Structure 1
């Protein structure tokens, strides 16, 4: 039975905003006054205790839930999530925000259709346009810096990212190198690290596979394990390992703590490099944030952390970042200067202003709620229309997978296309261990789209049975 936190066990410093309340609750998790599974007081009780409005307390709870520190369950109240203590003590923090209500977003869909469920693209219409225009104006008003963007990339963005990564992913004192894409970051690491073998999960991210092949590395594929990449499979040779532990692409599994620790220990023992691609780690639904792999003891010398704005904001920004081990940093910088694969200064500066103003935190909190709702609608529709179909990857990110072991997934994709739905086959993401299924992006899924898609999928699967 969950223990209910009393006003005595939840002693908070004076609070005047939702941000203060969020920080106070996370601090109580860190010091042990709140532990995993504890039930928080109701929003009404906390409003009376703190003197805040009930709406402000609700916003604070939304913020904590979006970051994975608490889990609100109908009929059970709001509980501290399993794993929240570990994440908070590792330095993860929820998003910085204020009590200002962001300007309403005018729903005007552009770009991809809501019937295009191929993975990789978020809903850019969720970005607060007024806040983004303000960030762009600030970047433009500052004028041209006169810096070489490949040798001295956006100080504004690097400073903002450093604080963002500390709060969101528990990475202290981050000094990111900026790239035009995560694929370029992987290419740089493949080029500068002395290894001949490249380990990757299969199915997995095709961009990493292409970069490994482009640099003449020997590709070694490993079947996907629900607990994450198993270091015991990797042998004793120094190598590069590419992994997506927060939300395995594409099947969506989250690597267990034991597997994460074992992978770091293997890298230390063999002198290997692990590339941690945290491509959509901003979004989690009902699960606690696990610390980034690079924050584990001994990981900093062997793990290169890669992130991108492509899923949190939009791919057309063309901004990504990398935290290479210190021993590789100068070589990666030299590769960037030679190949000129950094982002353009204006969008980088604008993104830095957007993050630094707190607008990114508000955006992520709102987007997480919207994506969680769209995900839930798709999962419910699939369960209703296709009850025998297994679904994976629903705890995080912007996509899920539907497993179709008894079907030709490429044929299913073609049949869905004829019905007006664009999807991606799961087998197309494999090099050696194909799995039949669909990779479905729900980021732009409209209100009725989930029901309609699930009904069409049921018809397609029935026709092909």
Structure 2
């Protein structure tokens, strides 16, 4: 039996725009005044009825049709779609309903407060703006047609990184693979090592591949290892660095930050570096060397990257990032990996599409090629060294009494942060107390799984000199109150 339809005269009331026409029509459908299959007036007729232009009515009908409330047939007219009544009564609309109170958008260019001392963010204002704009203009002038960053990464950045890594970290003839973050590089290395070594995540002996991790340590790497299904082993972070004697003889992955252990800031000794590389060579293991802020060191001789040591080839994957040297916004990282892993790493990049975007990659390449990166690192190191010295001096002055004698400042020789150890103090309570004064810091215990250490991590990269004294006074006051 055919369904009876009717031609209707729409009583839309006062409408002054296409959105108001749309809302009025949907309202009538929801109320039952318009039923499924009813024919609607032609656009000219409805325009004459409402006093609106025909173009306004056409836009309203187009929106209703796009949302599925009406259907238009050429030469036949427009009618209410089947199921439109049920959809309208269920609350479907052509546009999202407005929020009762729309939040204010973020302020453009708003940066972290100088009183936010949590780690991870460098002072991007130290970047030469003219040089950076010049680099961005050069990148923007390049064609983006056909760019496939996960399979065809920036040849310019690859070439400039080779020179940068040779000059700054001693890596000769590096062949870096490009990623959008160091975390992605770690995830790819875990997957590639498992794929090359055995089926899935097995180690060939019936168990998951072991992943050795210092504790406290970098939580991002730990997360990637757990997502890969690896068997995580925790080792207490020591001042000399990870002791290879703790690792056993099983083929494994070891994650380390030897230039400036995260978070405690220790520098791995030459003896333990050599021993770790020897262990990896003897066991067929992989060392992931995360050199997250290795460009910055203060008053100490540079120690060789693990990847440059004899025997490291084939056993050390070097990971670096622009996050600390320039800014996290770039999302550009790199990995110099053993040859036997490169095929699987490229496959991982192609599948997960975690290469850097073309524009920031090209801009960073131009920034390095212009010599601006070298100038920036030199300037930033001087500024960070001064801010570090001011903070250390202020802390030592405020803590120079018997009440705070157990407090120890560590990790001051490199990087962008240091740690203050506060044995016997609840560091979560200390963080909360400092937050009450407007200071944001990170508790050391939050970075540990098995071997918790009480203290705070302090990023001094954006802390002005006067702020160091103010913070140290507040810190000492709360340590005494909580100790």
* Same fold, judged at TM 0.5 (above): yes
Structure 2: segments with no counterpart, 5+ residues: 1-107, 195-202, 204-208
Deviation at 1:447, TM superposition (A): 2.3
CA-CA distance at 1:110 after TM superposition: 4.6
Aligned to 2:77: none
3-state SS in 2 of match to 1:353 = helix
Q: Quick check: 1:244 aligned with 2:262?
A: no
Alignment of 1:276-425 (within 5 A): 276-387=289-400, 388=405, 389-425=407-443
Structure 2 distance, partners of 1:351, 1:179, is 13
Paired with 2:158 and 2:467, the residues of 1 have a C-alpha distance of 39
Checking the alignment, whether the CA contact within 8 Å between 1:109 and 1:125 is kept in structure 2 is no
Cα separation, 2, equivalents of 1:290 and 1:461:
34
Alpha-carbon deviation of 1:152? 0.9
**1:179 matched residue in structure 2:** 179
| Cα separation, 1, equivalents of 2:192 and 2:340 | 10
CA distance in structure 1 between the aligned counterparts of 2:340 and 2:309, rounded to whole angstroms = 18
Give the structure-1-normalised TM-score. Answer: 0.76
Match of 2:277 in 1: 264
The match for 1:136 is 136
- The Cα offsets for residues 154-198 of structure 1, whole Å up to 9 and x where unpaired, read as 111110000000011110111110111000000001111124110
Q: Using the alignment, how far apart are the partners of 1:408 and 1:392 within structure 2?
A: 18
SS for the counterpart of 1:201 is: strand
Counterpart for residue 440 of structure 1? 458
Deviation at 1:406, TM superposition (A): 1.2
- Tell me how far apart the structure 2 counterparts of residues 211 and 407 of structure 1 sit (CA, whole Å): 31
Q: Tell me the SS of whatever aligns to 1:433.
A: coil
- Pairing of 1:210-229 with structure 2 (within 5 A): 210-229=223-242
Other structure's SS at 2:465 match: coil
Q: Distance in 1 between matches of 2:433 and 2:474?
A: 10
Q: For residue 97 of structure 2, what is the aligned residue in structure 1? A: none
| Cα separation, 2, equivalents of 1:385 and 1:134 | 45
- Counterparts of 1:118-157 in structure 2, within 5 Å, are 118-157=118-157
1:64 paired residue number: none
Displacement of 1:123 in angstroms is 0.3
Alignment of 1:453 with 2:476, yes or no, is no
In structure 2, what is the Cα distance between the partners aligned to 1:236 and 1:142? 50
With over 3 angstroms needed to count, the CA separation of the structure-2 counterparts of 1:358 and 1:126, relative to structure 1, is: same
- The two structures, once aligned, show a CA RMSD in angstroms of 1.1
Q: Which runs of 5+ in 1 are unaligned?
A: 1-107
Q: For 2:244, which of 216, 221, 231 is the aligned residue?
A: 231
Residues 228-276 of structure 1 deviation map (CA, whole Å, 9 limit, x = unaligned): 1100000000000000011100111111111001000100100000000
Q: Distance in 1 between matches of 2:160 and 2:255?
A: 26
Report the secondary structure of 2:225's partner residue: helix
In the alignment, the residues of structure 1 paired with residue 386 and residue 465 of structure 2 have an alpha-carbon distance, to the nearest angstrom, of 10
Aligned 8 A contact 2:124 2:327 in 1: yes
1: CA distance between counterparts of 2:141 and 2:331? 21
* CA displacement, residues 34-56 of structure 1 (integer Å, 9 cap, x when unaligned): xxxxxxxxxxxxxxxxxxxxxxx
Query: Runs ≥4 in structure 1, deviation > 6 angstroms?
Result: none
| CA-CA distance at 1:143 after TM superposition | 2.3
Cross-structure match for 2:166 = 166
- CA distance in structure 1 between the partners assigned to 2:140 and 2:291 by the alignment: 30
Instruction: After TM superposition, give the deviation of residue 145 of structure 1 in Å.
Output: 5.0
How far has the Cα of 1:462 moved from its partner? Answer: 1.8
CA distance in structure 2 between the partners assigned to 1:390 and 1:360 by the alignment? 34
Distance in 2 between the 1:371 and 1:109 partners? 22
Q: How many residues align?
A: 358
Q: Indicate if the aligned counterparts of 2:317 and 2:335 stay in contact, CA closer than 8 A.
A: yes
How far did residue 147 of structure 1 move?
2.4
Measured in 2, the distance between the counterparts of 1:274 and 1:402 equals 29
Instruction: Verify the 8 A CA contact 2:391 2:465 in the aligned structure 1.
Output: no
Q: CA deviation at 1:429?
A: 0.4
How does 1:27-176 map onto structure 2 within 5 Å?
110-176=110-176
Contact 1:243 1:274 in 2 (8 A): yes
Q: Provide the C-alpha distance between the structure 1 equivalents of 2:364 and 2:166, rounded to a whole number of angstroms.
A: 17
Using the TM superposition, give the Cα deviation of residue 369 of structure 1 relative to its aligned residue in structure 2, in angstroms: 0.2
